[in-house]
């Protein structure tokens, strides 16, 4: 470990005094669980994204579960997800009883494309109830092209935007506006662009879907529209003050006011976060481009989708480990020993033993090609320009066998 420099993780939160004050204010208030701070976060998120409804929940996994559930996804349905994503994009649909159809991705961006979706739909026996593109690393999949294919197939669209808060779609609308999908899900995990500790949000333009998600996050408890009128009402016709009905079995996916206050404070910093992350990415790109030709032939930035404006969550390089003559684990360990964290996003889901057991082997060459080369380098708001230079110099040294 190089003790001259602090360790650089691949991602981390940025917390300032305003964030701390926002949380402290909640701790001094009457509410800790879902209360006024959640209402304020939902209103602020709807304003920031232009979405008609924003529904907060416990984390990004809960957001996906709520979104699929709101659409009525269940046994007999297929959901198409790109193979390169975090487990939750698929596991939450699987938990509801749906079949998962893995779509291939562009080998250089790891994004689903209209072509890979089309091919996956061809494998979806009985069609697909939903398609769930993932805006990996913070750049959007081409939702104009994907949306057209999904609509033609009669599938709803759940966009997993857990990496992409702060970006813009092809028409310049904020990610989350719901102009490109029926539901868009976000994670507020600390490595993501805005942190709540744990937290999630779903946006939608559909009031009925929003209401279904609000019920699902709170045990299915309804205090209106009672069906058992014999129990619900007092003799004077007023609803009994203690009374509620369970519309269906559901979960406790509520976000606490403590987390919501932190997320709202972070949301106010989002434009600065996006700008800083873009500047760091530009510095990485320039530093990698200036490496000697024999090094940049084996290490290069991941591809750019060219759709919309990214809000970078990850900085991924593609390394030709075979030509380099070193294994990825060796490179990661060498980086770590010099104070630099890295990560792989992700082991494609079609390679997960669980899904292999469910669906057998699937041939997805784009996902496999991405997986063979991808390495996420440190990217977080409080990184200094010199940190980027150090990461690239260290990677250069390792590639040269130094
Ligand atoms: C693409 C993607 N989807 C969903 C999730 C789940 O979010 P959370 O960790 O907040 O449950 C993550 C988080 O790692 C993610 O990266």
Specify the DSSP element, H or E, that contains 179: none
118 and 197 co-located in one domain: yes
The encoded tokens of residue 159 equal 């966009």
Q: How far apart are CA 140 and CA 134, in angstroms?
A: 8
Closest listed residue to residue 371, CA positions, set 341, 346, 335, 343: 346
Q: How far apart are CA 373 and CA 227, in angstroms?
A: 57
187 and 287 co-located in one domain: no
Among candidate residues 53, 65, 168, 192, the one labeled active-site is: 192
Pocket flag, ligand 1, residue 200 (CB < 6 Å): yes
Task: Please report the pLDDT score of residue 3 as a whole number.
Answer: 53
Locate the ligand 1 atom nearest the alpha carbon of residue 88 and give its number: 4
Locate the ligand 1 atom nearest the alpha carbon of residue 199 and give its number: 10
Radius of gyration of the chain (CA): 22
192 in active site: yes
Cα–ligand 1 centroid distance for 65 (angstroms): 11
Under 8 Å between Cβ of 12 and 190: yes
pLDDT in tens, 371-394: 999 999 999 999 999 999 999 999
Cα–ligand 1 centroid distance for 77 (angstroms): 23
Q: How far apart are CA 66 and CA 104, in angstroms?
A: 25
259 and 327 co-located in one domain: no
152 and 41 co-located in one domain: yes
Of 217, 246, 268, which closes a domain? 268
pLDDT in tens, 113-166: 999 999 999 999 999 999 999 999 999 999 999 999 999 999 999 999 999 999
The encoded tokens of residue 230 equal 């014999």
336 and 387 co-located in one domain: yes
In a domain, 377, yes or no: yes
123 and 261 co-located in one domain: yes
Pocket flag, ligand 1, residue 177 (CB < 6 Å): no
User: If DSSP codes are grouped into helix, strand and coil, which group holds residue 103?
Assistant: strand
Q: How far apart are CA 14 and CA 260, in angstroms?
A: 16
What are φ and ψ of residue 86, in 5° steps? -75, 155
Of 268, 294, 316, which closes a domain? 268
Task: Please report the pLDDT score of residue 4 as a whole number.
Answer: 74
**Tens-of-pLDDT digits for all 402 residues of the chain?**
545 789 999 999 999 999 999 999 999 999 999 999 999 999 999 999 999 999 999 999 999 999 999 999 999 999 999 999 999 999 999 999 999 999 999 999 999 999 999 999 999 999 999 999 999 999 999 999 999 999 999 999 999 999 999 999 999 999 999 999 999 999 999 999 999 999 999 999 999 999 999 999 999 999 998 999 999 999 999 999 999 999 999 999 999 999 999 999 999 999 999 999 999 999 999 999 999 999 999 999 999 999 999 999 999 999 999 999 999 999 999 999 999 999 999 999 999 999 999 999 999 999 999 999 999 999 999 999 999 999 999 999 999 999
Pocket flag, ligand 1, residue 116 (CB < 6 Å): no
Of 249, 268, 287, which closes a domain? 268
161 and 73 co-located in one domain: yes
| CATH, residue 122 | 3.40.640.10
Domain that residue 192 falls in: 17-268
Specify the DSSP element, H or E, that contains 214: helix 207-216
90 and 132 co-located in one domain: yes
In a domain, 59, yes or no: yes
Cα–ligand 1 centroid distance for 188 (angstroms): 9
Q: How many domains does the chain divide into?
A: 2
Pocket flag, ligand 1, residue 166 (CB < 6 Å): no
Whether this prediction's pTM lies above 0.85 is answered by yes
Pocket flag, ligand 1, residue 160 (CB < 6 Å): yes
Q: CB neighbours (10 Å) of residue 231?
A: 10
């Amino acid at each position: 470990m190089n003790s001259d420099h602090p360790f650089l993780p691949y991602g981390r939160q940025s917390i300032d005094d305003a964030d701390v004050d926002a949380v402290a204010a909640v701790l001094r208030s009457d509410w800790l669980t879902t209360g006024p701070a959640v209402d304020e976060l939902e209103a602020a998120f709807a304003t920031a994204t232009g979405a008609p409804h924003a529904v907060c929940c416990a984390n990004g996994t809960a957001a996906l579960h709520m979104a699929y559930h709101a659409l009525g996804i269940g046994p007999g349905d297929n959901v198409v997800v790109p193979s390169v994503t975090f487990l939750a994009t698929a596991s939450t649909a699987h938990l509801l009883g749906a079949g998962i159809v893995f779509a291939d991705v562009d080998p250089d961006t790891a994004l689903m494309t209209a072509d890979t979706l089309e091919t996956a739909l061809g494998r979806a026996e009985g069609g697909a109830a939903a398609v769930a593109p993932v805006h990996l690393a913070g750049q959007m999949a081409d939702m104009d092209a994907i949306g057209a294919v999904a609509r033609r197939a009669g599938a709803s669209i759940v966009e997993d935007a857990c990496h992409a808060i702060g970006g813009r779609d092809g028409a310049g609308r904020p990610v989350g506006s719901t102009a490109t999908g029926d539901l868009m899900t976000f994670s507020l995990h600390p490595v993501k662009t805005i942190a709540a500790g744990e937290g999630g949000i779903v946006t939608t333009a559909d009031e009925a879907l929003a209401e279904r998600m609000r019920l699902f996050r709170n045990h299915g408890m309804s205090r209106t529209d009672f069906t058992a009128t014999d129990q619900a009402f007092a003799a004077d016709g007023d609803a009994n003050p203690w009374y509620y009905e369970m519309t269906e079995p559901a979960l406790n996916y509520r976000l606490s006011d403590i987390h919501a206050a932190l997320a709202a404070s972070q949301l106010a910093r989002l434009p600065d976060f996006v700008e800083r992350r873009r500047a760091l990415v530009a510095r990485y790109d320039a530093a990698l481009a200036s490496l000697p030709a024999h090094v940049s032939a084996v290490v290069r930035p991941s591809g750019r989708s060219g759709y919309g404006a990214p809000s970078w969550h990850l900085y991924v390089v593609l390394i030709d480990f075979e030509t380099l003559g070193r294994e990825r684990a060796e490179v990661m360990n060498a980086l770590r020993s010099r104070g630099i964290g890295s990560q792989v996003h992700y082991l494609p889901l079609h390679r997960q033993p669980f899904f292999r057991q469910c669906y057998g082997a699937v041939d997805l060459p784009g996902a496999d090609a991405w997986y063979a080369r991808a390495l996420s380098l440190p990217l977080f708001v409080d990184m200094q320009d010199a940190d980027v230079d150090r990461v690239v110099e260290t990677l250069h040294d390792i590639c040269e066998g130094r």
